[in-house]
A = this chain, B = another copy of it.
Amino acid sequence: MAASSEIEEGARLEPKFDADGLVTAVATDAATGELLMVAHMNAEALAKTIASGDAHYFSRSRRKLWRKGEESGHTQRVLEIRVDCDQDAVWLRVEQTGPGACHTGRRSCFYRAVPLGQSGDIKLEFREADRAFDPAAIYRKS
């Protein structure tokens, strides 16, 4: 393993995969800066994303590599990838094809706000939560 200074200050991509072999991947809309989704990548998903410019992720629930939009058609074209200081997270600036990134039918997965200044049971507030598409019409039932 490379020294900390080399990981932080070096020019070599050396992702720090966790015990499950994953790094965190954050996708933002390249035009608006909106946070679209947070997902994970294994080494293969990262390599395919870099090589192809199409976002690939690793689904922890389904235990499989997945090209974003392979089922919905809502692909993500990657304009830029950045890696963070300790190389355990990547940031994708993407062009989101189609109406949305979230499997619930919204543009972004982050459609609920957590009100500040509270404690105990917290009631979420929906924001920009109108559905951009009907997930039942897009995704196969499995």
Contacts and interface: CB of A to CB of B under 8 A. Distances in A.
B50 A81 contact: no
B81 A114 contact: yes
Q: Give the size category of A's interface with B.
A: 35 or more
A11 interface: yes
A90 B111 CA distance: 11
A118 B49 CA distance: 10
A12 interface: yes
Contacts of A111: 82, 85
Contact of A50 (B33, B78, B82, B114): B114
Contacts of A133: none
Nearest to A103: B85
